Structure 1
């Protein structure tokens, strides 16, 4: 890069940094947030956490109940992700330029993905809560809808990145549309699809905790119950269980990715 180009790049980065600083201070002014008060409260907050959020023998007696709810949450997340993945594969095939049957179906699939993805899972939980009430179905549907939007988007991109040579070769032999999709498109895209499905399982386990607080189900409800009753030792055990479960699931996902990629 020339000296003139480097100078221009430097000015662009400086302007971008100044804009970010200005937006930050403007946001703080609008919300009445004081940075100094926030930093000053940090030591006290950390001290409170170490004083209250620790696991005791009494809290360990609640471990079977906590594990039962945690397992329920994990399986609900897996069920929502896998069923959403099946729907997303069909929407991805319809939305991709490589496999699209017609433009109307492509626009429809992309519209579904956009709406589902751009509304947060928590918002979906609140919307569905009005119709279905506080139960496991509401939590499942909230995760399902949000997952469909995300997976459809990434599946469309994965299919679009598939090599067109195999598609062209099968087309030249007179293969049917379903044969082309089954033999040329899906095998190329499948490793990436599985990787994204594993990623969404991890994400949904994290999201289901917050969804459970709203829908009164799973580990989220258990966390909320102990928190409202100020049983902070049990809250610490719930938090530790969630973190440990997410780490284990992530390690398993990383291993499976290494095998299939």
Structure 2
């Protein structure tokens, strides 16, 4: 029996690789992509970057303005993620199989999470442009909706996995619903939820750059402005500040995770 199972898994793996290979070949044919040209263009791209895409002494004069836009992007990312985390916790309580009030609210919460989670933040930005135009508010809501869907799903799974035994123990003693939430769910899940929120903040800072390109706000718009004006030295400085900020936020969030987990 073990040999048959191993052989079946091997056949399935081979079939999967063949399907992926066939899909790749068909895609190359349809798009007329040249692998050889793609490989040979890499050295040229590196050479151009080293020759043009680097900050100069003159570009440093724009650093204060860049930092202002970077601060705006960071604050929008943190604010959108924080509010999304608070609402996601409420929906996660209603959607978790462990703490849901009834099947209707559970299904509704999970459905909302699936809907918002599977729409990319760039799609949200494009949709919201019709309502709010190119503004920071559009970027805020795009990040908020994307974060809300992801965090709701993550929180539901966290509650289901972490607190099920303690919830059952309190329910057995006749504890009220709010007592179960405050005495069991929140204490046992809050460290993991904070970790998810920190992860989402990191992700949103990266997403905010793309959203800024679409909504005309923040550091993404600043990069797009200088890049289109062929000011590659200033554009490269924008990229460097983004990289430094992302790495700094990641170091801070990793430290916080080590403390709380």
TM-score, with length taken from structure 2: 0.96
Q: 1:218 matched to which residue of 2?
A: 218
- Tell me the residue number matched to 1:195: 195
Partner of residue 127, structure 2: 127
2:41 equivalent in structure 1: 41
Aligned to 2:58: 58
Q: 1:211-232: CA deviations, max 9, x gaps? A: 0111111101100100110100
- The residue number in structure 1 matching 2:107 is 107
Once the 2 structures are TM-superposed, how far is the Cα of residue 78 of structure 1 from its aligned partner? Answer: 0.2
Equivalent in the alignment of 1:181: 181
Q: Over aligned residues, Cα RMSD in angstroms?
A: 1.3
Helix, strand or coil at the partner of 1:61: helix
Secondary structure of the 1:101 match is: coil
SS in 2 for 1:98: coil
When the two structures are aligned, how many residues end up with a matched partner? 261
Residue 162 of structure 2 aligns to a residue whose secondary structure is coil
Task: Quote the Cα distance in structure 1 between the aligned partners of 2:94 and 2:80.
Answer: 21
Counterpart for residue 22 of structure 1: 22
Q: Which residue of 1 aligns with 2:141?
A: 141
Could you tell me whether the CA contact under 8 Å between 2:163 and 2:189 is conserved in 1? Answer: no
Aligned counterpart, 2:255: 255
Structure 2: how far apart are the matches of 1:49 and 1:31?
Answer: 27
Structure 2 counterpart of 1:164: 164
* Bigger mean CA deviation after superposition, 118-127 or 28-37: 28-37
Q: Contact 2:53/2:232 (CA < 8 Å) preserved in 1?
A: yes
Unaligned runs of 5+ in 1: none
Structure 2 gap segments, 5+ residues each: none
Output one character per residue of 1:120-154: Cα deviation in whole Å (capped at 9) or x when no partner: 10010010010011111110000000100000000
TM-score (norm 1): 0.96
